[in-house]
């Protein structure tokens, strides 16, 4: 039986785990930057592979969700929005806002000329 | 009606007074990560070029280096707290402790390596 609470809670965990994996890639990139131009070229070749580009897209998706869902948790911590109807409504808001954020990030990251301002 | 056990009453023990620490750190790091992660993602997306020179020029700026160090520190901390809960919920038996030790060590290495790399670039060690 599908319950939205099950989905929102599980999604927050899964996106958190994916973002933790993202930290590993981030540190690999930072260490490459710190190791000088030649080492960076090699790492840049690896990090430019399609599988990594797909991962960056996934990271932007998961970040969008985890950020908005996390804000919902912080609001709950103040004791607000815990009624059943409010919680249902905020789940919808989280879904809609995070999808909008995902679209904006993906457009910015992958559409050439999106930041020519 | 009291919820305390008779033995607890006699010994005068209370809680270990540490139960709230994990929860509290999770919240503190969450709040800090809202501005830090937004800054980080927007910065990377507006970097334009990922050539070595461009990245170094960006990373060596004082505010960039400072915010990156904070971001890495708080993000790895938050990550460690979150992954720990997932392991505690889904890993059982003897491998649980081993997994928790590994998770903690990996996060410590990630945090140290990230901060070291940023400082090295910031102090001009990667040009």
Distance (Å) from the alpha carbon of A25 to chain B's nearest alpha carbon: 10
Least confident of A101-115, B27-41, B66-80, B100-114: A101-115
Q: Does residue A103 fall inside a structural domain?
A: yes
CATH number of B18-122: 1.20.1300.10
Distances in whole angstroms, Cα of residue B34 to Cα of each of B27, B97, B109: 11, 31, 23
Whether residue B87 lies within 8 A of chain A, CB to CB, comes out as: no
CATH number of the domain where residue A88 is located: 1.20.1300.10
Domain ranges of chain B: 18-122
Q: Give the mean model confidence (pLDDT) for residues A102-107.
A: 94
Angle at B119 between CA B117 and CA B125, to 5 degrees: 80
d(CA A57, CA A27): 18
Total-model pTM: 0.89
Nearest CA in chain A to B38: A67
Work out the pLDDT band at B1, boundaries 50, 70, 90: low
Q: Does residue A73 fall inside a structural domain?
A: yes
Structural domain count, chain A:
1
Work out the pLDDT band at A117, boundaries 50, 70, 90: very low
B45/A105 CB distance under 8 A: yes
Torsion sign, CA atoms B34, A60, B39, B36: positive
* Mean pLDDT of the residues in chain B: 92
ipTM: 0.91
Angle at A15 between CA A14 and CA A16, to 5 degrees: 90
Q: Does residue A80 fall inside a structural domain?
A: yes
Least confident of A65-74, A75-84, B59-68: A75-84
A34/B126 CB distance under 8 A: yes
């Amino acid at each position: 039986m599908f319950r939205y609470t099950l989905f929102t809670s599980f999604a927050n965990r899964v996106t958190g785990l994916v973002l933790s994996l993202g930290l590993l890639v981030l540190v690999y990139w930072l260490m490459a930057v710190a190791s000088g131009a030649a080492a960076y070229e090699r790492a840049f070749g690896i990090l430019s592979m399609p599988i990594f580009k797909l991962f960056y897209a996934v990271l932007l998706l998961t970040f969008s969700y985890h950020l908005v869902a996390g804000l919902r948790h912080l609001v709950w911590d103040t004791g607000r929005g815990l009624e059943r109807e409010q919680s249902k409504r905020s789940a919808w808001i989280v879904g809609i806002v995070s999808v909008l954020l995902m679209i904006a990030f993906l457009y910015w990251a992958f559409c050439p000329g999106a930041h020519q301002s | 009606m009291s919820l305390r056990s008779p033995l607890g009453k006699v010994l005068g023990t209370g809680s270990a007074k540490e139960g709230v620490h994990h929860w509290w750190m999770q919240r503190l790091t969450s709040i800090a990560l809202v501005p830090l992660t937004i800054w980080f993602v927007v910065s990377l997306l507006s970097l334009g070029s990922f050539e070595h020179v461009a990245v170094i020029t960006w990373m060596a700026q004082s505010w960039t280096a400072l915010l990156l160090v904070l971001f890495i520190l708080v993000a790895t901390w938050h990550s460690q707290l979150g992954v720990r809960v997932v392991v505690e919920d889904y890993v059982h038996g003897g491998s649980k402790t081993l997994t928790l030790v590994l998770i903690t060590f990996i996060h410590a290495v990630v945090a140290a390596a990230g901060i070291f790399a940023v400082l090295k670039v910031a102090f001009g060690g990667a040009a």
